[in-house]
């Protein structure tokens, strides 16, 4: 299973806010077991979508020697089931950011209604712990598209 849970960045204000999208395909691996006959996106993956969007918002504005990591779910609510072939909008606001941690609040919208919302905490690791040539493909695509305009 690939673990990229956002497809595209729509809006980005580094260190402030981000809007991203995710098209939930019917053949996502997790649908096999969650739940057989009634496939539903696991709530923890909805929160991970928020965390990944928040991370991209941070990467776009922090010191390039740092990389955000998901530390804590402070609060989460699941309000609607997300089924295969859903198109989601992920909206995240960064609330605080310093050199060691960042807090963010986000929501996943399905057809304009909140499917999940969460308050999360992210921390930072040294960027050089990652593979040297690694780049976030979703953020790279957004920045490439933006610079071409």
Give the pLDDT confidence of 38-78 residue by residue, as tens digits: 999 999 999 999 999 999 999 999 999 999 999 999 999 99
User: Across the chain, what does the average pLDDT equal?
Assistant: 96
The whole-model pTM stands at 0.97
Helix, strand and coil content of the chain, in percent to the nearest 5, comes to 25, 40, 35
Mind listing the domains of the chain with CATH numbers? 8-141 (3.10.129.10)
Q: Report the catalytic residues.
A: 34
């Amino acid at each position: 299973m690939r673990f990229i849970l956002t497809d595209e960045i729509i809006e980005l204000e580094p260190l402030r806010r981000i809007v991203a999208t995710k098209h939930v395909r019917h053949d996502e691996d997790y649908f096999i077991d969650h739940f057989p006959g009634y496939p539903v996106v696991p709530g923890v993956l909805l929160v991970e979508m928020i965390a990944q969007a928040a991370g991209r918002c941070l990467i776009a504005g922090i010191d390039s020697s740092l990389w955000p990591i998901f530390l804590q779910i402070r609060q989460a609510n699941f309000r609607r089931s997300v089924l295969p072939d859903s198109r989601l909008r992920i909206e995240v606001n960064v609330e605080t950011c310093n050199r060691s941690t960042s807090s963010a609040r986000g929501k996943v919208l399905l057809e304009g209604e909140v499917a999940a919302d969460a308050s999360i905490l992210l921390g930072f690791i040294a960027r050089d712990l990652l593979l040297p040539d690694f780049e976030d493909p979703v953020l790279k695509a957004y920045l490439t598209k933006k610079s071409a305009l």
